[in-house]
Amino acid sequence: MTRFAAPIAEQIWDMKYRFKAADDTPHDLTVEDSWRRIARALAAPEAEPEAWEGRFYTALEDFKYLPAGRIVAGAGTARSVTLFNCFVMGTIPDSMAGIFDMLKEAALTMQQGGGIGYDFSTIRPRGSAVHGVAADASGPLSFMDVWDAMCRTIMSAGSRRGAMMATMRCDHPDIEDFIAAKSDSARLRMFNLSVLVSDAFMEAVKADGSWDLVFEGKIYHTVQARDLWNRIMQATYDYAEPGVIFIDRINEQNNLNYVETIAATNPCGEQPLPPYGACLLGSINLARLVSDPFSDAARIDDADLDGLVATAVRMMDNVVDVSRFPLPAQAEEAQNKRRIGLGVTGLADALLMKGLRYGTPEAAEQTEAWLHRIARASYLASVELAKEKGAFPLFDAEKYLASGNMMRMDDDVREAVRAHGIRNALVTSIAPTGTISLYAGNVSSGIEPVFAYAYTRKVLQKDGTRTEEEVVDYAVQMWRDRMGDAALPDYFVNAQTLAPEEHVRMQAAAQKWIDSSISKTINVPEDISFEAFKDVYMQAYETGCKGCTTYRPNEVTGSVLSVAEEKKEAPEVIATPAVEPEQPHGDVIYMSDPLDRPQALEGQTYKLKWPDSEHAIYLTINDIVVGGKRRPFEVFINSKNMEHYAWTVALTRMISAVFRRGGDVSFVVEELKAVFDPRGGAWVQGKYIPSILAAIGGVIERHMIAIGFLAGEGQGLKADPTAQVVGLDAPRGKACPSCGQYEMRMIEGCMTCGSCGYSKCQ
């Protein structure tokens, strides 16, 4: 009997979380081994580790408590990785030396696998004087480009890219450039962007007042607040960025506002953090806790929930002590405040099991009740830890109880904190759980609605063939198991059928009892009017949300994945004949299945001479013209050095297979260029190349630039890869850069693949 509720769950475990040796030999033979590994590692700080290991294992068993992916993948492996998901880095000094010191810290943090957030408001605006030199400042966006290029070259632990968040205050003189940055599809691809919106600005917007753009007390420009707000809204309407963070509300409701000021968040926005703050995340899987689902008796037992929360809080507190940190300042910050972020996943599925329609006042009321219960249990568990192990070092009872969410907490909880202190300064947060929710059996993600009740996923088999596999939402599968072929009730709704105000209602209900923030995407229809779109953000502000992220499908952001309950045969994909040579370049064309190779292809052969190697490597890259657009189709790598034979053949086959899938295949270049040889790289034509594989990546990049596929070195596609599929009438969304499937959807502020779990932010 397998513990996995769906085949995709086991595949995600094997691919993302299973502990394996360098040669891919598994140490974790079963998922039970993974749970045991995690439980043992997190019990190590305890006085009686064996006793707590058993309790921790029980919490992990059957996916009831889901630590964040970095903990699942890294705990107990002895690898030099951080178990913290994301960091907000130090305040950027307004000096060249200070800026590049911060860049170095960012690189070290991402090298260990942490996503980062930065406030770029501290850098002087473009065109302002630079004292001591006869020059004008280049402005914060120029340095964001440097960060973006750095992120492209750093391979995060666990074979995933580091995600980044950039924030800027709404009164910074360069805010208009910041707002418009993502209008260039090739720029700042590694960043999520959010504007720090103050209460004063929102009041000026409502009053149609003027707004000063200021740096260090000097007014650079004065604009109309409503005009600036409309520019933010228009960019978000068109490009899905920037997001909006209500920064005054975040600081006002912060339990630690007496010792810190927040100006940035982690990449998905659920953790507003001070300089060098880190987010430690985990989720209670509500979908696994509902008894008697789809009946009048359906419920989550309060005692069971309280006990699971208490165990989860203890496990997360121990992570602070067992994790590595990229920088000493991050370790000190974590130890001084011991903030954790316990949240939920599977909320929408749990509501369905209770017969509640997501987005209704009744569903919002139940959501608030569950999260209130979790908040109470979390704080009380942390008080118990304080009795045993001591309060967090910066705890001050009177100041703490007069700050943030503690002012609205229940009286008995407040009195317990006053009497005994509290171990963790902040305890609740709702994080993105895209991959971890697939691992748990495809439960609904975080507090998001169900995205799709079922879809078909193509799975590559060992013999090279592909089979189709139905991926079913957890609650839907439970309904089928109990009700057979009975039609789904009317209260089964999904992200595409909900009104925007229903999304906002659920986010606001959850926020009341979350002391950090929430990662949530509000899906809006493509044809929503601009005025109605702006109303979504105003509703989020007026109902107490700490931020707002929307996704409107369009030609730039990509079409929303269309999902049908019944399987439909895909139409045949037919290659378009080649066009005249004078039109070889253009947009990316997505192919729904690999194309057959034509008899003849145009290409180029490159000679790569690696220092200290007797024989050169020759790379032949052939291109195909599809729909009038030229793109790489296959690669051949050859060398007389027989030591290179196996890996050059493997690389030839793998890269060619990826190229033939279509889509944005620029990630192949990024992955190869990020490979570091522990024996050292080499200087080639005045440039340091970290490995021979990185050199191959550089050759492929130059070829892609030459044919017009890439905009330039270290840059993205020459044109945005809008969802055009050759031979298909219906529009489709963007292909996943990891598995090539058309299952990308905006979830919790990040484009996430429902097929393989890939996410830029996880």
| Residue (of 308, 446, 315) closest to 377 by Cα position | 308
Which residues are paired to 620 by β-bridges?
A: 605, 636
How many independent structural domains does the chain possess?
Answer: 2
Q: What is the pLDDT of residue 48?
A: 95
Which residues are paired to 245 by β-bridges?
A: 196, 547
417 contacts 406 by C-beta, under 8 angstroms:
yes
Measure the CA angle with vertex 542, ends 358 and 414; round to 5°: 80
| Measured distance CA(742)–CA(562) in Å, rounded | 10
pLDDT tens, position by position, 303-352? 999 999 999 999 999 999 999 999 999 999 999 999 999 999 999 999 99
Domain span at 589? 574-728
Give the end of a domain, one of 420, 441, 459: 420
Whether 151 is a known active-site residue: answer: no
Q: Which helix (H) or strand (E) holds 700?
A: helix 692-706
Whether 268 is a known active-site residue: answer: yes
Asked whether residue 681 is domain-assigned, the answer is yes
Asked whether residue 294 is domain-assigned, the answer is yes
* The amino acid at 562: S
* Token couple for 190: 């590694």
Cα four-point dihedral sign 331, 332, 338, 340: negative
Q: What is the pLDDT of residue 434?
A: 86
Give the end of a domain, one of 391, 420, 449: 420
Contacts of 294 (CB under 8 A, 6+ apart): 353, 355, 478, 479, 482, 483
Mapping DSSP to helix (H, G, I), strand (E, B) and coil, where does residue 120 land? helix
Cα four-point dihedral sign 122, 123, 126, 131: positive
Measure the CA angle with vertex 695, ends 114 and 145; round to 5°: 45
Asked whether residue 672 is domain-assigned, the answer is yes
92 contacts 172 by C-beta, under 8 angstroms:
no
| Residue (of 449, 442, 447, 434) closest to 344 by Cα position | 447
Where on the phi/psi map is residue 61: left (φ > 0), alpha (ψ -120 to 50), or beta?
beta
- Residue written as tokens 């891919």? 24
Asked whether residue 441 is domain-assigned, the answer is no
From the candidates 268, 279, 736, 750, which is the catalytic residue? Answer: 268
Q: Alpha carbon of 57 to those of 71, 305, 312, 709: distances in Å?
A: 14, 16, 11, 49
Asked whether residue 152 is domain-assigned, the answer is no
Asked whether residue 288 is domain-assigned, the answer is yes
122 contacts 129 by C-beta, under 8 angstroms:
no
| Residue (of 629, 621, 551) closest to 590 by Cα position | 629
By DSSP bridging, strand 299-300 and strand 290-291 are: antiparallel
pLDDT tens, position by position, 676-726? 776 777 777 767 788 888 899 999 999 998 888 887 776 666 554 433 333
257 contacts 251 by C-beta, under 8 angstroms:
yes
| Measured distance CA(278)–CA(294) in Å, rounded | 39
| Measured distance CA(523)–CA(531) in Å, rounded | 16
| Measured distance CA(662)–CA(248) in Å, rounded | 45
Q: What is the pLDDT of residue 720?
A: 42
740 contacts 662 by C-beta, under 8 angstroms:
yes
CB hemisphere CA count around 186 (13 angstroms): 15
| Measured distance CA(12)–CA(107) in Å, rounded | 28
| Measured distance CA(212)–CA(63) in Å, rounded | 51
| Measured distance CA(457)–CA(436) in Å, rounded | 18
Segments of the chain scoring below 50 in pLDDT: 155-160, 560-593, 720-731
- State the DSSP code for 732: -
Asked whether residue 746 is domain-assigned, the answer is no
| Measured distance CA(675)–CA(47) in Å, rounded | 42
Q: What is the pLDDT of residue 393?
A: 98
By DSSP bridging, strand 191-197 and strand 243-246 are: parallel
| Measured distance CA(260)–CA(726) in Å, rounded | 53
| Measured distance CA(756)–CA(434) in Å, rounded | 10
| Measured distance CA(281)–CA(319) in Å, rounded | 10
Measure the CA angle with vertex 165, ends 162 and 166; round to 5°: 135
Whether 753 is a known active-site residue: answer: no
From the candidates 53, 105, 270, 502, which is the catalytic residue? Answer: 270
From the candidates 266, 285, 405, 442, which is the catalytic residue? Answer: 266
| Measured distance CA(550)–CA(529) in Å, rounded | 14
Asked whether residue 596 is domain-assigned, the answer is yes
DSSP 312-370: HHHHHHHHHHH---SSHHHHHHHHHH---EEEEE-HHHHHHHTT--TTSHHHHHHHHHH
